[in-house]
Amino acid sequence: MSKLVAPHGGKGLVCCLLEGAERDAELKKAEGLKTIEISPRAKGDLIMMGIGGFSPLDGFMTKADWKGVCEKFLMADGTFWPVPVTLDTNDEDVKEGDEIALVHEGDVYATMKITEKYEMTEADKKWESEMVYKGEGEDSVDGKFWEVAMDDHPGVQMVMAQGKYNLAGPVKVLSEGDYAERFPGVYLTPTQIRAEMEKRGWSNVAALQLRNPMHRSHEFLAKIAIEVCDGCVIHSLIGNLKPGDIPGDVRIKCIQTLIDNYFVPENVINAGYPLDMRYAGPREGLLHATFRQNYGINNMLIGRDHAGVGDFYGLFEAQDIFERIPYTKEECPDPGKALLCKAMNIDWTFYCYKCDGMASMRTCPHTKEDRVILSGTKLRKALSEGTEVPDHFGRDEVLVLLREYYEGLTEKVEVKMQKAASGSDM
């Protein structure tokens, strides 16, 4: 009997990936089906459905699911889910009842039986953007949201660029892409991570979500988790990011360097998952906890400006939202449909010269001038502009790797410094 938290939804791991002869037959069948070109985001969503990372989802959401998730964090059957997982198209010819092949850049990723086709008007897309991506930061209040979102919020841009229709229905996933080849030993499925944690005897596990290189604050968060849990999964997004962010292979190499030099390796797992970043701030924090539950993880580290972008979200809004979701396990009529992975809330962390070490707002009595403000955005900005990285910001071994990456770039993207990353609100 496993001691790890049960997968989300109460149905065990729902894995839509076909293998062997069954996969071969479905690929052959796909050759005769109408094809729909899918976005990189949908590709990642499909792979997560394939490997069980999005359990209990077995396909793209219906209109009732979409509406319920946006409005109440609940799918039509009452299962908690925080962010829509939908498939868009402009194709006028596909209709309900059709079987289609889902293709990205020439590769067939899945087949799908269309059970519903529903229109997404401009008003629908704006409503989804406001429900899912609008926060409590200064870029979201006082009517400012739509003044800046189309220029500065990649998640909103993604929603507004979607096609005229959404297609719903179950999928049969036929490919995991090239993640296993690009990230050997790091791209791990929920089944694989659960098996490794079982082998280590873990039952109380934390996840550290990463989309930036791992600086001293991230290291500190992981070590806090290791002190109070059996272990920590450093779980990096290895799908697509916005321009200017650092690619997965560089970040994974940096993390492994940190583990090799500054962690007890038996207490940490370096892993990656294949989603694209949505930049949905608090909602994405909930999504991170939801699919981490499928990986056997019951604690989600949530720090400052989790999954944020610009100044759209309050600094600790991603912590607060866990107190506002529809129901806990005890309140839910069907406990398997509630979110069981809990937030492990950590205050703003930094290096303090007077404390002579890492500290947080809860432990350090000193002033802003005594502290090295750490953020992934601040680190990327310094590296991209070739300016000096403050002492105690990152480990020297990691900074060497990051400088090599930036020196090799032929085209650089301007990194905007928002208030959350600059420390001006401290």
What are the catalytic residues?
211-212
Residue-wise DSSP of 156-173: HHHHHTS-SEEEEEEEEE
- Our CA dihedral for 179, 16, 302, 272, rounded to 10 degrees, sits at -10
The whole-angstrom separation of Cα 85 and Cα 16 is 15
Look at residues 249, 362, 341 and name the one whose alpha carbon lies nearest to residue 289. Answer: 341
Q: Which residues contact 49 (CB under 8 A, 6 or more apart)?
A: 14, 16, 57, 58, 59, 171, 173
CA 412 to chain centre: 24
Look at residues 130, 132, 153 and name the one whose alpha carbon lies nearest to residue 61. Answer: 132
Per DSSP bridges, beta strands 107-113 and 231-237 are unpaired
Q: Contact at 8 Å (CB) between 107 and 280?
A: no
Look at residues 372, 402, 2 and name the one whose alpha carbon lies nearest to residue 193. Answer: 2
Q: What are phi and psi of 235, to 5 degrees?
A: -115, 105
Look at residues 357, 352, 356, 388 and name the one whose alpha carbon lies nearest to residue 371. Answer: 352
What would the two tokens of residue 423 be?
């420390």
